[in-house]
Structure 1
Amino acid sequence: MPKYHNYRKALQHPIFSIIAEAADELQVEAYVIGGFVRDHLLERGEPKDIDIVAVGSGMDLAAKVSEKLQHKPKVQYFKNFGTAMLRAYDMEIEFVGARKESYREDSRKPVVEDGTLQDDQNRRDFTINALALRLNENGFGDLLDPFDGYHDLQKKIIKTPLDPDITYSDDPLRMYRAIRFASQLNFRIEAASLKSIKENCNRIKIISKERIVDELNKILLSPKPSKGFALLYKTGLLKKILPELTALEGIDEVEGQTHKDNFWHTLEVVDNISQETDDLWLRWAALLHDIGKAPTKKFHKKIGWTFHGHEFVGAKMVFKLFKRIRLPLNEKMKFVQKMVLLSSRPIAIADDSVTDSAVRRLIFDAGDHIDHLMILCEADITTKNPKRFKKYHQNFQVVREKIQEVEERDHVRNFQPPVSGEEIMETFGIKPGREVGQIKAAIKEAILEGDIPNEYEAARNFMLKKGELLGLTVD
């Protein structure tokens, strides 16, 4: 990061001069603090939100700023927290009065009192988030950096302003935030701070699952998620939220036969897929694709270690895991389940002897997500042997070509039966019931097996023959 001299440069956006004018009219000190300052110094792009601290009433300052803005945005007040928020220039701007906090042992909700800017900086989670730029005309752009956070930015260090035991015990979510920032920014957590996270990890139990998952998602969306998940594992935090994942760690040996460490393999897969996609749920699928291996692991003298049915078991585990940690139980969960369930299927069709039927069934089962599945399967190649690496990727290229060829000819992606249930009932003069389902299922199987083409006339003729076998007559 280049040495930075002109802090006024960070405040060129017109919103800052408006806030400065409002603060001076109210005769309160105002500062922009936290993520905006940090990210500007790191040159991380345009901000989406700004945090403003007023030494006085943040709510009054928000109201005055709204008056001065041309579109007079509505101010949302959160009186219980002494904060206010408005939207301007496609940004969320939050205003808070400077405060000091104290905590009880059994809660992360602080007792809040009015305080000075120093008090407010003391309560910040990390030195790099305690940087503040003055907005008042007198001293506009001055950097207030009591904990040398600028130096920590340069050295790429995550460090707490105060004793880390106090910082993490007061608000244990900060342990996840420390790891999240280390993962997002590729920073190092200071040794004393890392030691404190290990010692305080049991305090995480007072934090809601929703807030923890929010941090997990941000770690998973970081450029190299393995950095964050390795830190979660080493500090003991991962076992408390995702024991299904940590259960994969370790290598067992029986009669000289071992298996790979599926935990560290999983982290490699997540890193691989993160180079190809920013899709959060596909990254979740990569993280969970092998969780069924721990409960299905068995040793057989003749064949060694096996994990039979781990995809099926893993897919079932996805629902329980999502429900427990408060992830959405909607189409996103079903997508992850599908990816886990099908994760071993594509490689099975790389063989030259595989029939078109097997390819059609894979396309049918994956539907619109066949491309996502291929990305996951290719990310699953973690061998360090160059020849094997090349061979496996060539195999998947063969799979892609087979999928394209069969799909262009048979059109089974998002398959809809050429003959509808209504037509079956009308043809045979029957009501909804078992026979309708049997005929529809038989048509689907005939198309997937390649017995008939995926065309209306062929399907209708097949329907008539199947109906005859069931003792039905054309009405």
Structure 2
Amino acid sequence: MNLTKEIAPFEVVKRVGECADALGLEAYVVGGFVRDLLLKRKNKKAKDIDFVCVGSGITLAKEVAASFGEHVPLSVFKNFGTAMIKLEDWELEFVGARKESYRHDSRKPIVEDGTLQEDQERRDFTINAMAISINKANYGELVDPFDGVRDLKRKLIRTPLDPDTTFSDDPLRMLRAVRFAAQLDFDIEPATFDGLIRNAERLKIISGERIIGELNKIILSETPSYGFKLLFVSKLLHQFFPEMVDLQGVDSVGDKSHKDNFYHTLQVLDNVSTTTDNLWLRWAAIMHDIAKPATKRFNKKVGWTFHGHEDKGARMTPKIFRKLKLPMDERMKYVQKLVRLHLRPIALVNDKVTDSAVRRLLYEAGDDVDDLMKLCRADVTSKNPNRVKRFLANFDKVERKIQEVEEKDHVRNFQPPVSGEEIMEIFGLSPSKIVGELKEEIKEAILEGQIENNKDQAIQLMYRLAKAKGITKKEN
């Protein structure tokens, strides 16, 4: 197969080929660029191109950089034998063809110079092991020793060598198999999937940072539940996220049973994913019921209960984020907040709910209230269409209430109109418990609707509260 037409729009590929000819090197485009070219897939990173040459990739990169006649950013990584050129929106990576061998206790390979075939053999999957020649003599010729084109047509993820060898050598490839299946909506070939199961425990030698990098790509796929089901069945998920595995299963006592919270969580994740690409909102969907196993109780009258799972889940969030090497910053706090609040909006459906309850939710959720409502809507997973319709109509009602109160009171993200510094200045106080109490009581009065959210009313209340506590204004 010749792909000259397909690579014609990419002038930079032709330039690299000309530089390789000038150096007398065999050179090829390899990897994801070739795969996505054949799939006609517009990857977000389509302008990242990997080049392999039989010889020194660093030498070829330097020749390409020099060919532009002006300085272009060239990064050389001698320890890895690779180089990278950043050119406008292109990112070009160069490496010499190599063969690899592995020790059992490490995924870091022993690397030696190799042939193109040996380089292709070391790659993870057949669909990533294809190469296109860019030398003038055979420009555009596809080198496909493992039938990658056929696997693309069959929508299959398959290893080029025995899967036990591929996965034992570098266990991260098992997560990559699931990630590519999720991103491309491919199946994992049965023998390859069996290899995942046999080698799942090898994942323990992989760093948490590398694992979470692949997991986040699975979460950002169009239908992330597919990837999670593959992770679960292969036992890969058990190696790094047992808290999520614990959600699976149904307990019954007599005729009372609860839903399978693992598959419910996956449905919520898919539902959220139809409305947003926000990774952290998707993580909130994953985490929203994470504490149900820990809070599960059986009550003879009402059946199974999970009281307090939202608060317990919020407390579990930092520990899980830390263990999974997720960021311990505002993104974690955002997920924690949504987990803690995810049951609150449905409690506002009742017509007798006061504005103060809505104000309090707005105050606690702040700018994330819209994302909270997306999560709440996604949490409706009943198979009864009438019930789904009723719940979603209730959330419409809640959103109208939120909008009405916000337009009237402006309490989303509000800060009490009187600061602690002002209280200390007016009454000549030092930082103390009484200052915090005055500030808190003013905030509560606004949230309860006792005063409006403005400075004049807050100051008047402050003087009344201070007088009741025996505090007088500082004399000038």
**If the length of structure 2 is used for normalisation, what is the TM-score?**
0.98
Paired residue secondary structure (1:52): strand
Q: Where does residue 199 of structure 2 map in the other structure?
A: 200
SS at match of 2:138: coil
For residues 465 and 331 of structure 1, what CA distance do their matches in structure 2 show? Answer: 37
Q: What's 1:21 paired with?
A: 18
Q: Verify: 1:150 aligned to 2:144, yes or no.
A: no
Query: Following the alignment from structure 1 to structure 2, what is the Cα–Cα distance between the partners of residues 251 and 395?
Result: 28
What CA distance in whole angstroms lies between the structure 1 residues aligned with 2:364 and 2:214?
Answer: 32
Q: Which letter maps to 2:140?
A: G
Aligned positions of 1:126-137 closer than 5 A: 126-137=125-136
Name the counterpart of 2:369: 370
Please tell me the residue identity of whatever aligns with 1:22. C
Q: Alignment length, in residue pairs?
A: 472
Name the structure 2 match of 1:211.
Answer: 210
SS at match of 1:44: coil
Cα distance in 2 between the residues matched to 1:44 and 1:467: 67
Q: Compare 314-323 and 419-428 and name the one that shifted more.
A: 419-428
- Structure 2: 5+ residue stretches without partners: none
**Does the CA contact (< 8 Å) of 2:355 and 2:405 recur in 1?**
yes
Partner of 2:433: 434
Q: Following the alignment from structure 1 to structure 2, what is the Cα–Cα distance between the partners of residues 264 and 359?
A: 31
Aligned to 1:336, the other structure's residue is in SS state helix
What amino acid is the match of 1:41?
A: L
Alignment check: 8 A CA contact 1:8 1:140 kept: no
CA distance in 2, matches of 1:283, 1:39: 26
Contact 1:179 1:231 in 2 (8 A): yes
Q: Give how far 1:255 is off.
A: 2.3
5 Å-filtered alignment, 1:158-197, equals 158-197=157-196
Larger deviation: 82-91 or 194-203? Answer: 82-91
Aligned residue number for residue 6 of structure 2? 9
What residue is the counterpart of 1:268 in the other structure? 267
Task: Quote how far apart the aligned CAs of 1:435 are.
Answer: 1.4
Distance in 2 of aligned mates of 1:153 and 1:455: 64
Aligned to 1:250, the other structure's residue is in SS state coil
| Distance verdict in 2 for CA 1:70–1:268, change over 3 Å | farther
Matches within 5 A, 1:446-457: 446-457=445-456
SS in 1 for 2:136: coil
| Distance across 2 between alignment mates of 1:14 and 1:218 | 30
Q: State whether residues 30 and 52 of structure 2, in contact with CA within 8 Å, keep that contact through their aligned partners in structure 1.
A: yes
In 2, Cα distance between equivalents of 1:78 and 1:392 = 56
Deviations 1:183-203 (A, max 9, x none): 000000000000110000011
CA distance in 2 between counterparts of 1:217 and 1:203 reads: 20
**Offset at 1:86?**
1.1
Q: Deviations over 1:14-40 (max 9, x none)?
A: 211210111001000110000001111
Residue 472 of structure 2 aligns with which residue? Answer: 473
Higher deviation after alignment, 64-73 or 340-349: 64-73
What is the correspondence of 1:56-455 to structure 2 with a 5 Å cutoff? 56-455=55-454
User: For the residues of structure 1 that align with 2:74 and 2:3, how far apart are their CA atoms?
Assistant: 32
Given the alignment, which residue of 42, 52, 62 partners 1:45? 42
CA distance in 2, matches of 1:159, 1:405: 55
Aligned amino acid, residue 265 of structure 2 = T
Q: 1: distance between equivalents of 2:157 and 2:88?
A: 31
**Partner letter of residue 455 of structure 1?**
N
Whether the 8 Å contact between 1:108 and 1:171 is mirrored in structure 2 is yes
Shift of 1:403: 0.5
- Tell me, in whole angstroms, the C-alpha distance in 2 between the residues paired with 1:356 and 1:186: 46
Give the drift of 1:256. Answer: 1.6
Q: Given that residues 7 and 143 in structure 1 are in contact (C-alpha distance below 8 angstroms), is that contact kept between their aligned partners in structure 2?
A: no
C-alpha RMSD of the superposition: 1.1
What are the Cα deviations for residues 124-160 of structure 1, in whole angstroms up to 9, with x where unaligned?
1000001111111111111000111001001100000
Q: Deviations over 1:37-71 (max 9, x none)?
A: 11111112151311100110000000000001254
Taking the aligned partners of 1:385 and 1:70, their CA distance within structure 2 comes to 67
Report the residue type matching 1:220 in the other structure: I
Contact conserved, 1:293 with 1:307, CA < 8 A, in 2?
Answer: yes
8 A Cα contact 1:86 1:94, kept in partner: yes
Indicate the percent of aligned positions where both proteins have the same amino acid.
Answer: 57
Q: In 2, Cα distance between the equivalents of 1:348 and 1:376?
A: 15
